[in-house]
C-alpha cells in the first residue's frame, strides 16, 4: 500500500470538505447580516461598536478561505487562513463557555438555533485537524480517474456526515430544552 497516495487522498478529502463547510457558513451569515452582527456582539469578545465590523469581515474571509482551499495552488494558504479563523471561533466559544454563557446562539449557520456547547468546541477541533491534514498532505500531480472519483465521493460523504452530526447536536439541545421544561 502506497502511504503517500493514501495521505494525499485524505488531505484532498479534508481540503474539499472544509472548503464546503466554510462556504456554507459564509453563505448563511451573509444572507442575514444584521442577525449575524447581533450574534457576533453577543459573544462579547469585541466591544459592541466593533462587532458589526467583525460581522462584515468574517464571512468574506470565510469565502476567501473556501475559494483558496478549492484551488490546488492556493490550498496551503487557504488552510492557514482557515486555521486562523477556526482558532478565533473556537477561542470565542471556549471563552463564553468559561463565562457560563451557554445560551447564546453559536451563529454557525446564521441564526441556526444551535447553542454553545463543549461538543461545538470539539467539532471545531476536528475541522482544525482537517485543515492541518489539508496543509500537510503532499502535493500530487495529475491523478487517475479512480483516485479522483474516490476523493470526490469521500468528500461528499464526509460533508453530509458533518452536517448530519451538526444537526444531531442541535436536535440534542432542543430535546434537552423540551424535556427540562416539562414537569417530570
**Cβ nearer to another protein, comparing 63 with 163:** 163
Q: How far is the CB of 68 from another protein (least distance, A)?
A: 26
- Answer for which of 46, 67, 143, 156 binds another protein (CB under 8 A) is 156
Q: What are phi and psi of 52, to 5 degrees?
A: -70, -30
Site residues for another protein, window 95-134 (CB under 8 A)?
104-105, 111, 113
The interface region with another protein, picked from 70-78, 86-94, 121-129, 166-174 by CB under 8 A, is: 166-174
- Answer for which of 4, 32, 53, 126 binds another protein (CB under 8 A) is 32
- Taking phi first (over 0 means left), then psi (-120 to 50 degrees means alpha), and beta for anything else, what does residue 116 get? beta
**Cβ nearer to another protein, comparing 84 with 168:** 168
How many chain residues are in contact with another protein, going by CB under 8 A?
A: 32
- Tell the burial category of 108 from Cβ atoms under 10 Å away from its Cβ (0-12, 13-18, 19+): buried
Q: Mention every residue, 6+ apart, whose C-beta is less than 8 A from residue 63.
A: 22, 23, 26
Rule CB under 8 A: say whether 180 interacts with another protein.
no
Quick one: DSSP state of residue 60?
H
- Taking phi first (over 0 means left), then psi (-120 to 50 degrees means alpha), and beta for anything else, what does residue 100 get? left
Q: Are 151 and 12 in contact (CB under 8 A)?
A: yes
The interface region with another protein, picked from 18-26, 62-70, 125-133, 146-154 by CB under 8 A, is: 146-154
Q: Mention every residue, 6+ apart, whose C-beta is less than 8 A from residue 95.
A: 43, 45
Contacts with another protein by CB under 8 A lie at 32, 34-39, 42, 48, 104-105, 111, 113, 146, 149-150, 153, 156-157, 160-161, 163-164, 167-168, 170-171, 174-175, 177-178, 181
Amino acid at each position: 500500500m502506497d502511504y503517500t497516495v493514501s495521505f494525499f487522498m485524505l488531505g484532498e478529502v479534508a481540503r474539499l470538505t472544509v472548503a464546503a463547510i466554510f462556504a456554507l457558513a459564509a453563505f448563511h451569515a451573509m444572507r442575514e447580516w444584521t442577525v449575524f452582527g447581533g450574534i457576533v456582539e453577543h459573544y462579547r469578545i469585541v466591544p459592541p461598536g466593533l462587532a458589526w465590523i467583525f460581522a462584515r469581515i468574517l464571512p468574506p474571509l470565510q469565502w476567501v478561505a473556501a475559494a483558496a482551499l478549492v484551488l490546488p495552488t492556493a490550498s496551503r494558504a487557504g488552510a492557514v487562513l482557515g486555521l486562523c479563523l477556526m482558532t478565533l471561533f473556537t477561542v470565542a466559544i471556549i471563552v463564553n463557555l468559561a463565562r457560563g454563557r451557554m445560551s447564546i446562539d453559536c451563529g454557525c449557520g446564521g441564526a441556526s438555533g444551535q447553542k454553545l456547547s463543549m461538543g461545538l468546541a470539539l467539532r471545531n477541533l476536528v475541522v482544525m485537524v482537517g485543515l492541518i491534514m489539508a496543509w500537510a498532505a503532499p502535493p500530487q500531480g495529475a491523478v487517475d480517474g479512480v483516485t479522483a472519483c474516490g476523493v470526490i465521493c469521500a468528500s461528499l460523504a464526509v460533508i453530509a456526515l458533518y452536517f448530519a452530526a451538526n444537526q444531531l447536536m442541535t436536535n440534542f439541545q432542543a430535546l434537552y430544552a423540551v424535556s427540562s421544561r416539562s414537569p417530570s
